[in-house]
A and B are shown apart, each in its own frame.
Chain A
Amino acid sequence: MGVGLAIILFLALTLGWMLLPFLPGLREIVRKDDAEALPISRRSEVDVRHFAQGFRTYLDRTLAGMLDRSRREGEILTGELADGTPYLVVPDGESPVDIGDDERAYCRTLIVSPGDLNLPDDCVHAAEIYAAGDLTGGARSVYRAAMAEGALELAAGSASLRWLHAGRSLRVNDNCRLWGRVSSEGPLHLAAGCRFERLHAQVIDFGDPAEASEVALARADAPVVEAGDIAHLVDTRGGRWLVAGDFELAAGRRLEHDLVVNGAVILREGSSLKGSLKSRGPLRTERGVRIDGAVVGEQDVALGRDGVIGGPVISERTLTLGTRCVVGAPDVPTTVSARDIRVEPGSRCHGTVWAHQRGDVLVPVGRISGKDGTA
């Protein structure tokens, strides 16, 4: 082999080696397999009723005729939808729905009713359930998803896997597990021992109402805290007070600005804040504290009993709502969001409650019966 040929071969090999990583790219440029812009959703993805609305549309498209026929003729109708899903249309008030023993262990049938619907105990519903009237679940049952245009009641020890939606009211009895979304156009009540992820209703009550106690609630005419009273206050511009360090608001005092604290925060009994509160450290309020604006905590947030928060309430760790705490108002619903949420019985939220990992309605000490702390 001559020197010239060797050099040419060497250069060709080098060039080829250098170009090798570009070959898949050249193929992609020519074929444009993945060249389109990333798709973006135009709708709001966070609407808690998203799945329920989608299911209603699906029913309108597939089973509206069957529901009308069952309503008119009072017949039980069965069959299969075009996608192979078996369905059972149950007339109004058929009580309880007769599901064969074989099916109870794992019922794949889509059960719908043009009126009220009562379901048997100890059944795993792998398909959706729909009632145009009220829906009453059997005890210890599992639901993939369920929807009632009227009232929906989940019996004790039940679980929902994806979503529940009620048009009028939704009641969840003791020790239920609610994975996914739960929403109601009317009131929503979760009994003690329930576990939840995402809830939405105008009024959400947790546990049984607690007895009123003697507590010094925050007063609008309380003595106002001045800038000179606060240690480590580094900035008051823009309507927010910035504190570099820990902060404590004395009992019965009132602060009339937004407050940002780089350390831990404690609001003593009966104190109040006209604006919003942000804390980098742990945040705790004692009994009867009122915060008109939002509460945002980068660590644990514990709101003491009889607290009143305008909202939203956000914690990046654990949020504890004390007994008879109220977040939001009927005409001003808001959002409660945290990694973990622990709610003492008697609390009330208006709007959305979203626990990313786990939400628990705590059981009063006197009612604990199971080893796992269930009611």
Chain B
Amino acid sequence: MNAQHREDQALPAGYARWWLLPVIVLGVLAATTVAVVLAVPASELPLPDPQRPLPVRIMLAAMYLIIGIVVVNLVRHYYFTLNRLFGHQRHPYLDVDTADWPRVTILVPAHNEERVIGDILRALLEVDYPGDRLRIMPLNDRSSDRTREIIDEFARSHPGLVTPFHRTEGLAGKAAALQDALPLIKDDIVLVFDADYIPGRGLIKQLVAPFFDPEVGAVMGRVVPVNADVNLLTRILDLERAGGYQVDQQARMNLRLVPQYGGTVGGIRRRAVEAIGGWDVRSLAEDTDITLRLLLAGWKTVYQNRSECYEQVPENWRSRMAQIFRWARGHNQVLRKYAGRLIVNRRTRPAEKIDGLLLLHIYLMSPILLLGWALGVVLWYLGVTKPGLIVILAVTCYSTLGNFAVFFEIAAATYLDGTRSRVRLLPFIMSGFLVSLMSVARATVTQPFVRPTRDVHWHKTERNHRRARWE
């Protein structure tokens, strides 16, 4: 089943009524409220009244705040999923197949990538894009293996088309490498592919097309795990990626919110990035950082769901924990830097502000949930809460991150992808959730005690040769 067919897995047209979304969301909320009211009599609901000691009142207020945040996330996930299933799907740039294609530079950041660098360069040499408007720039950052040698071989056999940049000094890390390459690039459109990605022939045009819109500052395609069949972890990650891209990113695109540039299988408009000061070399998540800074400057990020490219996901829990640890630190860093500016920014719409904040706070949810559980237990032992509050938190936590909302999102994604059997693995998402909970909580809690510059270096997922499943 190809991308076009996957998109066609929509519900019957008769169901696609705009009013259905709010009705269903409100229905779910009403049903939840009724269930909670029935489960917890009003007399048993603890309130932070003045009779209680101050610390208890603070704890109760924090508890209600946490429940509120969790409910907001629940509604957000449901809303995205319902939009993806029932709402109008936006693919405004997908039809652009004929155009005066602009000149494009494709960057391939690489650090010790001898096992895969040749594969991506070969794939890029075969893409369906005018050769005289294409420049491939492997960005070799101090590799100590054969990466440099392989790249130079390609450069010799394709002079003018493959123009390598061998970096030997400066700060380590992808963001720093990209920033150093920026002055060497003359073209306005810059696409970025990590070395272990294999682009299809038509992908470059699909990723360039949105840049005809002068408002677009960045474009993101969909990444598809190529090693999904290796073990339980890769299968869980395959499901998570499906939910994240097929539902979450596309819903944000549909609703004109904030799709996220992911740093690979995507691109940026050079003059937009230069206008906002280039890549932040000290950023732990240069992709999220650039998404937010472009948004603050009035540039939009576009998600192209049908622009798919294979990636390798971590195959062991250690790599996965390191990956999510890094993402959490990066996200939190961006949240700290830009949340305030986003709220007061006059170039962004209110819906974008809300979505941007919700996007940035997602890695704060783990410590927030753990704190909520701890507060619930403490308050219960203090005799402040009857079981009601814990029940509410348990239900909302379970519904938001442990079960229904995210499960619903992933199940919807498998439905849209037409991969029905893998949905049976849905309960195992819980194990991924628990690992993420601990890893992200640790990253967030320890973050204030870490000096940012020490963290900036190359973070890589272990590479293995995998066969792509091209149609």
Contact = CB atoms under 8 A, between A and B. Distances in A.
Contacts of A36: 228-229, 469
A277 B215 CA distance: 9
Given A25-B425, A337-B95, A240 B297 contact: no
Contacts of A47: 97
Interface string A39-64: 11111111110000000000000000
B43 interface: no
A260 B97 CA distance: 23
Interface in B405-434: 417, 419-422, 424-428
A144 to B, nearest CB: 20
A259 B214 contact: yes
Interface string B200-217: 111001100000111101
A39 B469 CA distance: 5
B23 interface: no
B97 A46 contact: yes
B424 A25 contact: yes
A63 to B, nearest CB: 26
Contact of A296 (B92, B94, B201, B299): B92
Contacts of B424: 24-25, 27-28
Contact of A335 (B99, B225, B235, B269): B99
A270 interface: no
A39 B95 contact: no
Contact of A314 (B98, B213, B346): B213
A310 B274 CA distance: 26
Interface string A267-285: 0000000011110000000
A29 B232 CA distance: 7
B4 interface: yes
A9 interface: no
Nearest to A242: B298
A277 to B, nearest CB: 7
Give the size range of A's interface with the partner.
35 or more
A231 to B, nearest CB: 15
Given A41-B470, A277-B214, A337 B224 contact: no
Given A21-B427, A40-B2, A333 B421 contact: no
B456 to A, nearest CB: 26
A29 B419 CA distance: 15
A177 B147 CA distance: 56
A240 B427 CA distance: 48
A160 interface: no
Contact of A41 (B200, B215, B227): B200
A130 interface: no
Q: Which of B201, B215, B309, B417 has the most CB of A within 10 A?
A: B215
B95 A335 contact: yes
Contacts of B309: 40
Contact of A34 (B92, B256, B419): B419
Given A34-B420, A44-B202, A39 B100 contact: no
B471 interface: yes
A182 B206 CA distance: 21
Given A22-B427, A258-B214, A242 B98 contact: no
Contacts of B226: 37
B468 interface: yes
B203 to A, nearest CB: 9
Given A25-B424, A38-B469, A43-B202, A240 B100 contact: no
A316 B275 contact: no
Contact of B99 (A38, A277, A334): A334
A35 B202 contact: no
B279 interface: no
A312 B468 contact: no
B86 interface: no
A371 interface: no
Contacts of B225: 37
Interface string A321-335: 000000000001111
B326 interface: no
A335 B212 CA distance: 11
B212 A296 contact: yes
B398 interface: no
Contacts of B217: 238
B324 to A, nearest CB: 21
B11 interface: no
B228 A351 contact: no
Given A312-B96, A337-B95, A41 B3 contact: yes
A202 to B, nearest CB: 10
A334 B93 CA distance: 13
Given A235-B347, A335-B95, 10 more contacts: A28-B421, A35-B422, A38-B308, A40-B309, A40-B471, A42-B200, A44-B201, A44-B202, A293-B212, A335-B99
Interface of A: 21-22, 24-25, 27-29, 32-48, 200, 234-235, 237-240, 242, 244, 258-260, 275-278, 293-294, 296, 298, 310-312, 314, 316, 332-335, 337, 351-352, 354, 356
Please provide the 5 A-B residue pairs with the shortest distance between their CB atoms, ordered closest to farther: A44-B202, A34-B421, A258-B214, A238-B275, A35-B229
